[in-house]
Amino acid sequence: MDGVQTTNSLNNAPDGDGTPSIDFLGEFKVLTSLYSAEYGRNSGSIINVTTKSGTNQFHGTTYEYLRNTDLNSRPFFNPARVENIQNQFGANVGGPIKRDRLFFWGGWESMRQLNAAGSGGVVTTVVPTPAQRQGNFAGFKTINDPSTGQPFPNNTIPQSRLNPISLKIQDAFVPLPNFSSGNNNFFAAAPNATNLDQGAGRIDYRIGDKDTIFGRWFESLEFDLTPFGKECRASRWAPIARSTPAALARPTSSRRLGCWSPSSGST
């Protein structure tokens, strides 16, 4: 991004939480092969993006993306339509501070999503049938009496052998079957909550016809809560400063100073 790597060096992969909004970008290029040595660290493709900058005219945008349960279709593998609500909204503006010399640009985007359609919001599993909850396992693998080593008659555990405390725990915390698909007989869906806020700002200064310099700050904050998983908070920030001397009669050179910092916590 703006000539500075944003790859997570721990797993050699792009960091999704630090991906800037598409409305923050002025241009992008995808390199798939035969790229120059400056991109030679990894095999495969390289995605190079440049953030927007201000110009001599004021420009700005506002936007809102809406996804709503009432407008969605039922996921193919789910027995019912589940909650999926997403609001993604933002704004950005850029323009001159001093005409032909100093320019600014800034943008912000937020997302609020409740999504029970994804894998983290859906549980499909096997729970005991009403008969099994009473000790009746007829038609299933033979159960032997641990005190005698012999099979229980009719493969049914007598009621007197069922622990009353265990039965109360089962009734309180183990649901009844509500679904039938292959070996699974239970389906549950609850929305994953995702809150994402990110912002970027950039200042460009045209020193003269031969030299320019700019500084940019980007920060992304994300909170995820999965009903059947864990809570996770993540933040990413990436400042950069760059100067570019350029002359018509000599090759262009540039100097960049940037850093990228991920931080996250989960419970």
Each residue of 181-218: pLDDT tens digit? Answer: 778 888 887 888 888 899 999 999 998 888 888 888 88
Q: Of 221, 211, 219, 203, nearest to 244 (Cα)? A: 211
Mean pLDDT in residue range 37-66: 85
* C-beta separation of 108 from 90 below 8 A: yes
The reply to whether 74 falls in a domain is: yes
* C-beta separation of 221 from 235 below 8 A: yes
pLDDT tier at 33 (50, 70, 90 boundaries)?
confident
* C-beta separation of 173 from 164 below 8 A: no
- 3-state SS, residue 92: strand
The reply to whether 192 falls in a domain is: yes
The reply to whether 103 falls in a domain is: yes
Model confidence, pTM: 0.66
Residue 89 dihedral angles phi and psi, to the nearest 5°? -145, 155
pLDDT tier at 163 (50, 70, 90 boundaries)?
very high
Instruction: Count structural domains, the chain.
Output: 2
Query: What pLDDT score does 54 carry?
Result: 92
The reply to whether 180 falls in a domain is: no
Q: Which domain holds residue 139?
A: 128-174
Q: Say whether both 22 and 132 belong to one domain.
A: no
Q: Say whether both 116 and 141 belong to one domain.
A: no
Please say if the pLDDT value at position 11 is more than 70: no
Count helices and strands (H / E) in the chain: 2, 14
Residue 38 dihedral angles phi and psi, to the nearest 5°? -65, -20
Q: Say whether both 166 and 198 belong to one domain.
A: no
